[in-house]
Structure 1
């Protein structure tokens, strides 16, 4: 094992979690600060391959996959218009981030799906709130707009002038890791408000709810932990391999 890779939880998070009668240890793997255009396989080889045990599952933050795939957009390429400025005023800010209150994120959404669909989503969202249903705006738009991050909303200077989009074909990226290294992999968009699994390798298909429950408490953390990789290991397997 690489002596610089530690198997522990982030501060304030629990290592162990039980799901459907199975106990799992979730290890937050600290990496270097991943930037646009890096090679995802090289990151896996550096931080995961040395510590991998058969039966482990790898959870990867969608943000570093997007960076590696260059699924990014820059402020300089966005022309913020009236609609983005107007709609962003009505977005409720949560304690973790501004979300679409950030006008650059809102403009990116408008550029991706078109202004008409965004206006329709806003109308439907108001109706949803009347009947007590949340998340209607994102559900109506689809196209990964809920996965847009960055634009100075992440606490890192690197993201001040850029945003990351939903990674392209996350299933393909997961399958490539599985085929190359034999590691079952999922790509997730997770925060302390919720978890979305964007893709898995085909061997994990049908296990989405189970996998989501394993990381439902967001073991990667919400602040500047810099732990975009979570190594999930059945606790029983951990006992056998270290005995």
Structure 2
């Protein structure tokens, strides 16, 4: 009799859990959200010792088949990164609406605009930085972080969006093979490759060819950090654009304070990727297994992104203000780059504690070689700006 009662209790608990998971998933998937997406085109940089001008276009698309969304506000908030005191640098920004069905206002005022279903509009963004005569801006400035703050207004309410566009104002000269500072490793040679600060305006293949194409030879392995690849794919967002659910606020409290899932926005970012049912289910099963001595199952069940999300301060400026997700489809990326460059390519996650994780690698890549070569973390974890590392067997 007792066994029958216990069985009924277990069945009832399992049924209640299943209903809860289905309810959470449906509530998450059916919640109202803005369909608008902002993407940046190419930007031009004109330089002079006393001034620098930057201009480029952004496109706002509405892929929804029925919903129409208002864009009542759009403004620019630039941040300059440089190699000295930037207090004397003056900034002037301008937004020019390029709507397909309205004339451009000469005064630069952004009039509220409706982006209809399956339609798009554009805007031209420009910025001029100037300083006192005698100030060499080209030597002082390094990078422009141009944040577009815009409002979406529709059935989902009124929400602010923040899209950061990174525009390099100077780029390092690619290394040459004869003068490259190779480092001796464990039965291999290692070469960290410096690049400019990478962003969504960069094409990954172009970056690899430009900075490493003249250095590699058959048998080499070219690695790229998972975070630089993710930011080139646009997989980052500002925490202000995240609305933490009750589940995210609750679950984040049980993670170690140094974890990227220990904040409500970090946890919600994972929930938005894989769904609340998977996250809650992974936590319940992972906690149960942890009680009997099996650790790490939450991350296995929640998926790779659970380990790869970098919360605020987890990456180099200006991405230290954002939440950076793991890269999208790194296996396909490695296969395409290996075919394009003729060498093995790998996406890696390395830290100063000697941990080396190969997220993805092209066919035939020697992962044991990568473990030996990357354990000292030759790329560094600070602001070295060496996202690429060439590994050459001894």
TM-score range, shorter chain: 0.7 to 0.9
1:55-84 per-position Cα deviation (integer Å, ceiling 9, x unaligned): 211111111222222233443442112222
More strand, by proportion:
2
Is 1:138 aligned to 2:299, yes or no? Answer: yes
State the distance in 2 between where 1:103 and 1:7 align.
44
The CA distance in 2 between the partners of 1:84 and 1:7, in whole Å, is 47
Quote the offset at 1:112 in angstroms.
Answer: 1.6
- Per the alignment, in what secondary structure is the counterpart of residue 218 of structure 2? coil
Instruction: Note if 1:92 corresponds to 2:256.
Output: yes
CA separation in 2, counterparts of 1:39 and 1:144? Answer: 23
Contact 2:309 2:323 in 1 (8 A): yes
Query: So what's the TM-score if we normalise by structure 1?
Result: 0.78
1:174 to 329, 334, 344: 334
Q: Which residue of 1 aligns with 2:379?
A: 220
Specify the alignment match of 1:241 in structure 2: none
Counterpart residue number, 2:202: 38
Alpha carbons of structure 1 residues 33 and 142: separation in structure 2 relative to 1, 3 Å: same
Matched residue, 2:392: 233
Per the alignment, in what secondary structure is the counterpart of residue 254 of structure 2?
coil
CA radius of gyration, larger in: 2
Q: Is 1:189 equivalent to 2:353 in the alignment?
A: no
User: Residue in 2 aligned with 1:12?
Assistant: none
Bigger mean CA deviation after superposition, 106-115 or 69-78:
69-78
Written as runs of structure 1 = structure 2, the 5 A alignment for 1:21-36 is 23-36=187-200
Q: 1:69 to 1:51 in 2, by over 3 A?
A: same
Structure 2 distance, partners of 1:89, 1:150, is 15
106 and 8 in structure 1: CA distance in 2 versus 1, 3 angstrom threshold? farther
Q: Quote the offset at 1:107 in angstroms.
A: 0.7
- Tell me, yes or no, if the aligned pair for 1:37 and 1:70 is still in contact at 8 Å: no
Give 1:219 shift: 2.4
* 1:39-118 correspondence runs (5 A): 39-94=203-258, 98-118=259-279
1:123-144 deviations in whole A, cap 9, x for unaligned? Answer: 2333343344432221111152
Pair 229,138 (structure 1): closer, same or farther in 2 beyond 3 Å: same
* 1:232 Cα offset (Å): 0.5
Task: Give the number of equivalent residue pairs.
Answer: 220
- Tell me how far apart the structure 2 counterparts of residues 125 and 217 of structure 1 sit (CA, whole Å): 31
Q: Report the Cα distance in structure 1 between the residues aligned to 2:284 and 2:184, rounded to whole angstroms.
A: 42
**Counterparts of 1:31 and 1:46, CA distance in 2:** 9
Equivalent residue of 2:323, what SS?
strand
**1:32–1:150 CA distance, 2 compared to 1 (3 A):** farther
Contact 2:199–2:234 at 8 Å: present in 1 too? no
- Over the aligned positions, Cα root-mean-square deviation in angstroms equals 2.6
Residue of structure 2 aligned with 1:164, choices 315, 320, 324: 324
Unaligned runs of 5+ in 1: 10-14, 236-243
Flag structure 2 segments of 5+ consecutive residues without an equivalent: 1-172
1:129 aligns with 2:290: yes
**Taking structure 1 as reference, are residues 225 and 131 closer, same or farther at Cα in structure 2, changes over 3 Å only?**
farther
Q: Structure 2: how far apart are the matches of 1:157 and 1:137?
A: 30
| C-alpha distance in 1 between matches for 2:311 and 2:219 | 34
